[in-house]
Chain A
Amino acid sequence: MSITQDFDSGCFPNWCAGCGDFGIWAAIKSALVKLNIAPHEVTLVYGVGCHGHMVNFMHAYGFEGLHGRPVPVAVGAKIANHTQHVIVVAGDGDTYGEGLNHLLAAMRGNHDITVIIHNNGVYGLTTGQSSPTATKGYQSKSTPEGVIETALNPLALAVISGATFVSRGFAGDITQLTDLIVEGINHKGFSLVDALQPCVTFNKINTYQWYREKIVKLQDLGHDFENVQEAIKIAMQDDPIATGIIYKTLKSTYESELRQLDKGTLVTKPVSTPHNLLDNLSTGNTNAT
């Protein structure tokens, strides 16, 4: 049994008042409680950005790495101990920008990890430059004339790149976001939870109000999330913005295909010298094969 307070580090967040990060933080903790996961049974790997400060507010095994690189750290952690729950907490600049290659590779591998992205369209920590999910024309300090590029579509990308659980939530709807994180953690395979999140300080367009007017819930629409064509259609649509489980399928996970892990985790295997290491390697042994 775990309770929400088990995950409090005793250090209160220093995010801006009203920041969407609070909602995501609350949802992660509620999801872990709902799943009855204790703080020592989960490893959270954080990227660098406002979201990464969560490492200080969460009492659970954690690793705050480099900007853009939490996904490979998480994959390594999962392969080393596949009985541990491994969750990536990252931002859109971090994992849809700097580290997108790692995200694609982890989705292709269907590693059994859950990736939760704080998606607010800006780089908040470095004072609000546009992120890869900022819409075309979005003006920021780094793009005063407006973003020229087309916005990245992380959900459509996930569906076609091998992710087996693709979902979108909203930091302003903690109940739904909690359920999506629960589903994502329960899912055997790679799960993406894209969490739309207002940046109250720098993003004056994508506000709570703006999202509330545009969001529709997929469960109310009767969406068939096992249908890949439907999933892509939903992912490609930007108005209204659909939240919920967009795509879900079952495929063997990377870890389940490693025979070395059949009889226990790598970390529980003895760290010792194999006595048969040099067998058959001597060139003097002409009978060897």
Chain B
Amino acid sequence: MLESISFKVAGEAGAGVMTTGQSLATLVSSLGFNVFGYSEYPSLIRGGHNTYQVTFSKLPVRSPKHTTEVLVALNPNGIKLHLNELTSKSTVIYDSHAFNTDEQNLPAKVRKIDLPAHKIALDNNADPLMANNASLGAAVAVLGIPFVELENVLTRSFTAKGTQVIVQNVKVAKDGFDYVNTKYPDILPLIKTPRKDQLLISGNEAIALGALAAGCKFFAGYPMTPTSALMHFLAKNGPKHDMVVKHTEDEISAVNMAIGASFTGVRAMTATSGGGFALMSEGVSLAGITETPIVIVEGQRPGPATGMPTWTAQEDLDFVLSAGHGEFPRIVLSPGDISECFWSTVEAFNLADIYQTPVIILTDKMVLESHATVDLFDLSKITIDRGRLITQRDKPKNYSRYQITTNGISPRAIPGMRGFVFAANSDEHEESGQSTESDKTRIQMTQKRFRKLALLSTKTPPFRPINPQKGKLKIISFGSNKGVILDALDMVANKNDYSFLSIDRLNPINTKSLVNYLKNGSNVIVVENNFTGQLEGYLKKVTGVTISHRVRRYDGRPFMAYDLAKIFEKTIQKI
């Protein structure tokens, strides 16, 4: 019996690949499986090659699997480009009437199901795209899942479209299901698992939910892969929680508008990718000197410039750590998985309010556009801390917006309050906010702003690596590589030989805790998705430790757990 199963649907953009894949992901999630849904697609609306892969298991799954057990091919490339993923346990479902399938290309060991999906759709007077439902029904039969489970999922997803649409979709799926059950009775035995309440969400959705949970009421953004879906989710779901979502004319406007809303007292956010963040960087600097709280999501993709818009990378670490002219404190978080996306976002809003400075959530396509099952977030664990925000009940007495305090944090009033009138100023300023070019004030204000970061440094919790003492090889990464590394550690020969630290807070970073983990760096491997080793360089900069081993991938694809496991095993032999 297989521990985990990977289902993949592959075809042209516009052929319904995503919808079909996500329906299956929803189905296995509803059965209680742990699910990881991963998509690959080009920056095109029609044509090109799209895939959606659903890996599921009753054990944890945190990354896409390197083999495919059930492949639904919607065109010749759907087979050709995935031959190396097929094993003796694989089944390929295709429709030889829809496209010319050269069966000779399929390895003999693979089970082939020639499903007349288009004919089934036609016989039901359905749209040709609905042939995908027949394939879905067939896949469900192959997986040994009772049909009623798929019927439930289809009914739920088409509720808004009315009974007729539901009935037709279900019928096409049922015909696909019955076709396989009649002609190919030797189905895969389904691993059973108890049903549970869980969410199947993307990183984008987790961040959006985190923002709503934190009481964020204003989002301004400009569409850019891979964070567009974050704006879509908030635009649809934000208004019922009193959020306003503004699609702005550009990213410069987005960051400035969010700053204007935050200055006025509303928790505000924007999201973009590297190119958009480049446009925002002057605004990041503005938030720094005006001490305006703001949360910015930077979803990385391969650059430079337009690069490879729909793929993944970790190329903006150096950029995000230094973006914006001049010197000012910034906080950079790097959630490692979809659950951390939610909690990091909640924390980001508190940090922004407490330290009155920009907070950047650095993430990437791999985590933002992938789906995974997570336990329902325990909303009772959320605390909201707005920092030194003045209320109208406070008595105005010589109020200074930029009062120099021992910890650097000044009391913050908001426009509209009687008696606290002040101006936030992008010029260097006195405690009152008045512009100044005084050398003495300049020094005081610079130090005041950086005292906030020093304060946060003392409050930054130590890292909690996995197996920190006994590991012969210490793995270190940031952001989305957490999942794939944990999956790789489930594959290596002796798991106890490895330690693992996933960095979820890049700045300020707990240097002491980091040094404690890295020691002299001689048996450490850095895993990152870039060419120049930005994480490795940053670790060297903050700890002085030279690290012995590295693995870098910069082809736009995420690491595969299977490959990493092999690399880890090879590396450990050399130590």
Residues of A within 8 A of B (CB): 9, 11, 38-41, 43-45, 48, 53, 55-56, 58-66, 69, 71-81, 83-84, 101-102, 104-105, 258-261, 266-267, 269-275, 277-278, 281-286, 288-289
Contacts of A72 in B (CB 8 A): 220, 248, 252-254, 256-257, 260
Q: Are B195 and A74 in contact (CB under 8 A)?
A: no
Interface flags for B218-248 (1: CB within 8 Å of A; 0: not) read: 1010000000000000000001011110101
Inter-chain contact B415/A76, CB cutoff 8 Å: no
Instruction: Encode contact with A along B22-63: 1 for CB under 8 Å, 0 otherwise.
Output: 000010011010000000000000000000000000000000
B residues near A9, Cβ cutoff 8 Å: 434
CB under 8 Å from chain A, chain B span 473-489? none
Cβ-defined contact, A55 with B435, below 8 A: yes
5 pairs of A and B residues whose beta carbons are closest in the complex = A76-B260, A62-B423, A271-B215, A80-B264, A73-B260
Within 8 Å CB of B414, what residues of A? 267
Residue of A nearest to B149 (CB): A286
Chain B residues near A269: list those with CB within 8 A.
217, 242
Q: Are B260 and A273 in contact (CB under 8 A)?
A: no
Contact B267–A271 (Cβ < 8 Å): yes
Interface SS majority for chain B? mixed
Does B415 lie within 8 Å of A101, measured CB to CB?
A: no
Out of B199, B263, B422, B433, which one reaches A73, CB within 8 Å? B263
Quick check: B264 and A84 within 8 Å, CB to CB?
yes
* Distance to closest chain A CB from B375 (angstroms): 10
CA distance A289 to B161 in the complex (A): 12
B159 at interface (Cβ–Cβ under 8 A)?
yes
Most buried by B among A61, A75, A285: A61
Is B253 in contact with A102, judged by CB distance below 8 angstroms? yes
Bound CA span A64–B260, Å? 11
Ordered by A's residue number, 19 sampled pairs between the chains whose C-beta atoms are within 8 Å are A44-B423, A63-B260, A65-B256, A69-B286, A76-B260, A76-B261, A77-B415, A80-B266, A81-B265, A266-B261, A269-B242, A274-B241, A277-B209, A278-B209, A282-B376, A283-B198, A283-B200, A284-B196, A286-B156
- Chain B nearest CB, measured from A248 CB (Å): 25
| A77-B264 CB under 8 A given contacts A260-B239, A282-B199 | yes
Q: How far is the CA of A101 from the CA of B152 in the complex (A)?
A: 49
Residue of B26, B32, B286, B386 with highest tally of chain A CB at under 10 A: B286
Chain A residues positioned under 8 Å from B201 (CB to CB): 281
Could you say which residues of chain A place their CB within 8 Å of the CB of B554? none
Inter-chain contact B421/A40, CB cutoff 8 Å: yes
Per the bound structure, the CA–CA distance linking A89 and B417 in Å amounts to 21
Give B69 Cβ to nearest chain A Cβ, in Å.
21
| Chain A residues whose C-beta falls within 8 Å of the C-beta of B264 in the assembled complex | 43, 76-77, 80-81, 84, 267
Q: Do A271 and B379 touch across chains, with their CB atoms under 8 A apart?
A: no
Partner of A80, one of B212, B260, B382: B260
Q: Verify B266–A284 contact, CB threshold 8 A.
A: no
In the bound complex, residues from chain A placing their C-beta under 8 Å from that of B244 are 79, 258, 260-261, 266
Does any Cβ of A come within 8 Å of B523's Cβ? no
**A260→B242 contact, CB < 8 A:** yes
Report chain B residues within 8 Å CB of A66.
256, 282-283, 286, 426
Which A residues touch B250, using CB under 8 A? 101
B residues in contact with A271, CB < 8 Å: 214-215, 217, 267, 384, 386
Shortest CB distance B254–A (Å): 8
Asked if B327 CB lies within 8 Å of chain A CBs, one says no
Pair B422/A283 contact, Cβ less than 8 Å: no
List, in ascending order, chain B residues with CB within 8 A of A73's CB.
256-257, 259-260, 263
A15 CB, min distance to chain B CBs, angstroms = 13
Which residues of B have CB within 8 Å of A43? 264, 415
Most chain B CB within 10 A, of A45, A101, A260, is at A260
* Chain B residue with the shortest CB-CB distance to A259: B239
Residue in contact with B377 in the complex, picked from A48, A74, A278, CB distance below 8 Å? A278
Residues of B within 8 A of A273 (CB): 213-215, 379, 382, 384
B199 touches A48 (CB 8 A): no
| B258 in the interface (beta carbon within 8 A) | yes
Known: A44-B423, A273-B384, A275-B379; 16 extra A-B contacts, CB below 8 A, are A40-B415, A40-B418, A58-B423, A63-B423, A65-B286, A75-B253, A77-B415, A101-B253, A105-B249, A271-B386, A277-B209, A277-B212, A278-B199, A278-B379, A283-B198, A284-B195
- Cα A79 to Cα B422 with chains together (Å): 20
User: Which of A56, A105, A259 has the most C-beta atoms of chain B within 10 angstroms of its own C-beta?
Assistant: A56
B382 A40 Cβ-Cβ under 8 A:
no
Q: State whether A61 and B261 are in contact (beta carbons under 8 Å apart), knowing that A259-B239, A274-B212, A283-B29 are contacts in the complex.
A: no
Does chain A have a CB within 8 A of B326?
Answer: no
**Are B248 and A105 in contact, with the CB atoms below 8 A?**
yes
B427 at interface (Cβ–Cβ under 8 A)? yes
Judge whether B373 is part of the interface by a CB distance below 8 angstroms.
yes
